[in-house]
Amino acid sequence: MKGDKGGLYKICEFIVDKRKLFILISVILVLFCIVSKNWVNVEYSLESYLPETTETKRGLNLMDEEFNTYGTCSVVLHNITDAQARTVADDISKIEGVFKVDYDNDEAHYNNDNALLSVTFEYNEKDEKCLEAQEKIEEYIKMYDYSLSTSLGNKGAKLLEKEMVPIKILVVIIVVVVLLLTSTSYAEVPVLLITFGLAALVQMGTNFFFGTISAISNSVSVVLQLALSVDYAVILLHRYKEERANRLLPREASIVALSKAIPEISGSSLTTVGGLAAMMFMQYGIGADLGMTLIKAIVLSILSVFTLMPGLLVWFSSAMEKTKHKSFIPEIPFVGKFAYKTRYIIAPAFFVAIIVAYFLSAKAPLVYSSSLIKTPLTNDMQKVNNEIKENFGKDNIVAVCVPVVSYEKEAELIRELEKYDEVKSITALANSKAIGDYCLTDRLTPRQFAELLNLDYEVAELVYTAYAVNDEDYGKVINGLANYSVPLIDMFDFIYEEVEAGYVTLDDEKMETLESAHKMINYAKDQLKGENYSRIVVSLNLPMESDETTAFLDTIHDVAGKYYDKEQVIVVGESVSVIDLNKCFIRDNKVVNIISVLTVLVVLLFTFKSVGMPILLILVIQGSIWINFSVPTIKHDYLFFFAYLIVSSIQMGANIDYAIVIASRYMDLRKTMLRKETVIKTMNQCFPTIITSGTMLAVAGVLIGRFTSNAAIYGIGQCIGRGTIISILITMFVLPQILLVGDRIIERTYFSVKVPVASQKKSGLMRINGMVRGHINGVVTGVVNAEVRGDVSAYVESGAITTLNETDSKENDSHEESSAGEDTGAGIDED
């Protein structure tokens, strides 16, 4: 192309001419990202993404500040006697780094020839020394038939990452097969794979910019990236092949194709990005996490298409010419004929169907914990946990955090909670056994303390006197110590400090007792008493998720409110997070749906310049979403709530493109063709695009849903796969009928957008392409796209006036279509 060149054309020319530079930059970026992808921190806990105002999040933050959580692991020994299990427990307790091993001959620890050993380490659960001690345990028990369950080392995230490897491989294989079947040249496939392979690697390698991303985002973003953005490369490829068909050389064809594809791809991506952006407004932080990750993935894919792919098209041009083949995608005129014949049946039936689907989807059996979801795969950690649950049961544990006031109040609260049948057991300082029948927080007089430790009463009095002086309670010293009582835990701490300071000397036996007591006291205090709060661990005889559980958690708040300020009582546990997640869902579901629909609606309004068309298209995809989420209701399958939120946004943002492709082609053809001919030709032309993109997203979703052990990812994959298939079927077999029936509505709601334009004056030979308003003096050849030899003075409302050389062929650009500014209703009214 010669003559005047716009700014976009010059940018495209620079990209193509500097293709070696862009390819070099891409290679350097890929090498960097291969290294940097290991810098990404992955967060496996879904609770950590709850809003700061929720009880769970406040409780988790408080416990991090106030308490020390020791590392733990559970060892299950199979086909073993009780005596053997006790020996193993004793030996493990002697391993360096192990604080204690809990094992008793009861159903909670020994059942069906299986023994459960609960190991507690001497270090915080985040300390690497816990993993070292755990490795020593595994080395010791390798001779036994054993299973080991642990949360140390983020094992769950590693297992999830391992599961995604075969999924990614299968998706790549499916993508290659689909591209081969939908291509017209075998050499197209490597161009597309290189383009998206680079984008995928850069996506993984740039996630460290976010600091930490969720395990869900880390696992599914690359697969969804490919499925969501493959259209962009296909658009550029088709544009390139059109220009080559017009006898342009590879370089020129790539430049022109890119200049035409950039606006088209940018517009197409807006609906997808709009749907994903809706997730950014969720209270539940994992929505923003996945939304940001996927939006970055879309942007990187677009950049890869804009900067890398044009050069690849030039490089592979010769191979593409040599490997041409007939398209394997058949024409489907029967779909258009079926649509025309059934337009007055299918369209009304669809509107009835989506009303039913709306009410069914609203009753989808949503759950907020993974315990009720049966995933297709079970990872090693889940297998062990299932073994423990089957043989020894699973406790529903909640932590009741109350302000530090007095041990007496804590004991009173514990005694009242223990009266409820829903409470299985309680662990707290106020009921932790010390020596004999005494608890750690029991108050002892000097005589009781002397009898407990077999001390001389006079020695006990001296100790109590020193304690009273240290506590500045001089009245007790003066008035006598006989009735002076001190909590056992505080007295042990005081004596230990005095011994350490050298003020008190004990014989070896008593020193050993004191050392042992001090160790156990510190262990208990670290976990159960902080500077401002005490933690009471309650084991419930209730399921993780039920109305009964929710009601009893309210009861705990009410009971604790009798002894403490109710606003300061915080309960933490999986059952509490279920309640918080439910509250988030109610709000987030409304926000996500409203924002995604409004965002897409705005994009469609300016795309079609019609009020009726966007409403019809959104109704089609929203109807697909409702039908998608009616399936769990009909099948009585539990659905993880997060899948409902995320897939609603993705399905609206991504699947709307299928409807846009059909609607745009229909409106273009409708200008010059009868309705029957229009719908037949529309479906023939749109089928390859929809089947290419739709198959990839559907397959990606199905594979993710079929090969994972994570409940959230299982739900996302399952719903995306099923939802995309439903959207394809509806856009292929329902949308055409709706367009035929709604033809008049679309025409009557058309509007034009007036924008200020500058007048252009040119003379000589030129091409006019677009809607112009002004005076043309000369010979005009053409209807809409025209070559003019003469003078032009006109406002260009859309399109362009390009100066031509005499040697340029008038037919060279005759394939270009007129701009969207023309009257939509200019087509034939009726057949």
Percent of the chain residues past pLDDT 90, beyond the cut? 45
The per-residue pLDDT for range 223-241, each reduced to its tens digit, is: 888 777 877 888 899 889 9
**Mean pLDDT of the region 504-533:** 84
State how far the Cα of 546 lies from the Cα of 117, in Å rounded to an integer. Answer: 30
Residue 831 banded pLDDT, cuts 50, 70, 90: very low
pLDDT at position 829: 47
Q: Which two tokens stand for residue 306?
A: 């804009």
pLDDT at position 811: 42
The per-residue pLDDT for range 104-133, each reduced to its tens digit, is: 877 888 988 999 999 999 999 889 999 999
pLDDT at position 474: 63
State how far the Cα of 790 lies from the Cα of 788, in Å rounded to an integer. Answer: 6
Q: 39: buried, middle or exposed (CB in 10 Å: 19+, 13-18, 0-12)?
A: exposed
Question: In angstroms, what CA-CA distances link 315 with 138, 235, 320, 651?
Answer: 55, 18, 10, 36
399 has pLDDT over 90: yes
The per-residue pLDDT for range 252-297, each reduced to its tens digit, is: 999 999 998 898 888 778 888 888 888 899 999 989 999 999 999 9
CB within 8 Å of 798: residues ≥ 6 apart: 770, 771, 819, 820, 821
State how far the Cα of 325 lies from the Cα of 795, in Å rounded to an integer. Answer: 45
Q: pTM for the full model?
A: 0.78
The per-residue pLDDT for range 767-811, each reduced to its tens digit, is: 666 555 556 666 555 444 666 666 666 555 445 666 666 555 444
State how far the Cα of 70 lies from the Cα of 208, in Å rounded to an integer. Answer: 29
pLDDT at position 828: 45
pLDDT at position 48: 86
Q: Which two tokens stand for residue 799?
A: 């399109």
**∠ CA 812-815-817 to the nearest 5 degrees?**
135
Going through 512-569 in order, the beta strands assigned E by DSSP cover 533-540
**Mean pLDDT of the region 166-180:** 86
R_g of the chain computed on alpha carbons: 36
Is the Cβ–Cβ distance between 92 and 166 less than 8 Å?
no
State how far the Cα of 192 lies from the Cα of 185, in Å rounded to an integer. Answer: 12
State how far the Cα of 19 lies from the Cα of 13, in Å rounded to an integer. Answer: 10
pLDDT at position 700: 86
> By C-alpha distance, which of 159, 146, 169, 177 is closest to 223?
169
The per-residue pLDDT for range 746-762, each reduced to its tens digit, is: 888 877 555 454 556 66
Is the Cβ–Cβ distance between 681 and 669 less than 8 Å?
yes
Is the Cβ–Cβ distance between 317 and 32 less than 8 Å?
no
pLDDT at position 419: 94
Residue 84 banded pLDDT, cuts 50, 70, 90: very high
**∠ CA 363-368-372 to the nearest 5 degrees?**
90
Q: Side-chain half-sphere of 332: how many Cα atoms within 13 Å?
A: 18
Is the Cβ–Cβ distance between 585 and 641 less than 8 Å?
yes
State how far the Cα of 718 lies from the Cα of 722, in Å rounded to an integer. Answer: 6
Lowest average pLDDT, out of 357-361, 438-442, 507-511, 540-544, goes to 507-511
Q: Which two tokens stand for residue 135?
A: 């490795």
- Torsion angle of the four alpha carbons 299, 300, 302, 305, in this order, in degrees rounded to the nearest 10: 180
Alpha helices, DSSP H, located in 671-774? 675-706, 711-733, 735-741, 743-748
**Mean pLDDT of the region 167-194:** 88
The per-residue pLDDT for range 127-170, each reduced to its tens digit, is: 999 999 999 999 999 999 999 988 887 777 777 778 888 888 88
Q: Which two tokens stand for residue 355?
A: 């009303």
> By C-alpha distance, which of 658, 627, 788 is closest to 735?
658
